[in-house]
Amino acid sequence: MKKDLLKLLDLTTGDIVQILDTADRLKAERKAGKQHDFPAGKTLAMIFSKSSTRTRVSFETGIYQLGGLGVFLSNADSQLGRGEPVKDTARVLSRYCDCIMIRTYEQEEVEELAEFSAVPVINGLTDFAHPCQVLSDLMTIREHKGRLEGLKACFIGDGNNVANSMIVGCLKCGMDVSIASPEGYRPDKRVLDYAAGAISGKFVLTDKPSEAASAADVIFTDVWASMGQEDEAEKRRKAFAGYQVDDAIMELANPGCMIQHCLPAHRGEEITEKVFEEHAHEIFDEAENRLHAQKAIMYLLMKSNAI
């Protein structure tokens, strides 16, 4: 049966560990100059309704390093932008390509694409979920800390797609999770319902960043106004006053606490320049690992259909 990566809610802990282990192996092979064991000539269709730096470059570079080809399609370059139904695009592209990655707004669009595609579909980002980002984060945390289980992860800021996926991914890996978001900007109810019934890790939702950051081993944050929310920027700056990751927050965390930021960062808003630069090596390790984690996803979906 065809498999996809649409959201972390769909994956088991074993699936996540398999992706992380594969990413570690592919990263080591790349650093050693070793050729990847992957069928030559695979093609990845890349649909972008939202613009991108990291997602486009990491996927396009990743499929090339595996020995395949990435085909970039923006709304302006494809019939999707002129109103072609998603299900028709899915049925066409899956006759040309071996895998489809899409970065768009609505999660329902990704789900419909997968329903009608004969090849695997990867969610490169929606307003609901950012699974590839959080798999890269988990890879980075494990590299720096040597483990995931038993650590405490904290997210401070907007309960957006990154927060949604971070909650699910961290809990599935046995981490404790605390989220600090103001009322009206909380994570999605589907995610909160999952967290309430999660069998591993403890979950705390609060409106107090100091409470969330206490004894944290890794702190996540993200911009207060994501792509498509630019007209809400001033309103959001007021709502998130007091939710900045600064020295006072870091003093509450455990010694050696990491920072993860999906980028781009708005220094002086969700994070201070000082804290960002003190943890830049972790943040840019995280950015690099988008390449390796996504290569692992493509490897597993296209070579062995394993996840």
Domain contains 1:
no
CATH number at residue 91: 3.40.50.1370
- Total structural domains in the chain? 2
What confidence score (pLDDT) does residue 233 get?
A: 82
Instruction: Say yes or no: 19 and 139 in one domain.
Output: no
Instruction: Say yes or no: 144 and 282 in one domain.
Output: yes
The secondary structure of residue 304, as a DSSP letter, is I
Query: For 224, phi and psi rounded to 5 degrees?
Result: -80, -30
Task: Please give the helix or strand (H or E) that residue 72 lies within, else none.
Answer: strand 69-74
- The burial class, CB within 10 Å (0-12 / 13-18 / 19+), for 192 is middle
Task: Report d(CA 220, CA 166) in Å as an integer.
Answer: 9
Task: Report d(CA 136, CA 133) in Å as an integer.
Answer: 5
Annotated catalytic residues are 103, 130, 133, 222, 262, 290
Amino acid at 80: L
Q: Print the domain residue range for 108.
A: 8-130+290-304
Using DSSP's 3-state secondary structure scheme, residue 91 falls into: helix
Instruction: Say yes or no: 97 and 43 in one domain.
Output: yes
Beta partners for 101? Answer: 46, 122
The secondary structure of residue 271, as a DSSP letter, is B
Instruction: Say yes or no: 173 and 84 in one domain.
Output: no
Cα angle 181, 185, 178 (rounded to 5 degrees) comes to 30
Instruction: Say yes or no: 165 and 74 in one domain.
Output: no
The pLDDT profile of the chain, 307 residues, written as one tens digit per residue, is 579 999 999 999 999 999 999 999 999 999 999 999 999 999 999 999 998 999 999 999 999 999 999 999 998 778 877 789 999 999 999 999 999 999 999 999 999 999 999 999 999 999 999 999 999 999 999 999 999 999 999 999 999 999 999 999 999 999 999 999 999 999 999 999 999 998 888 999 999 999 999 999 999 999 998 867 778 889 999 999 999 999 999 999 999 999 999 999 999 999 999 999 999 999 999 999 999 999 999 999 998 776 7
- The burial class, CB within 10 Å (0-12 / 13-18 / 19+), for 14 is exposed
Going from the C-alpha of 180 to that of each of 31, 57, 242, the distances in angstroms are 38, 31, 11
Task: Report d(CA 137, CA 120) in Å as an integer.
Answer: 23
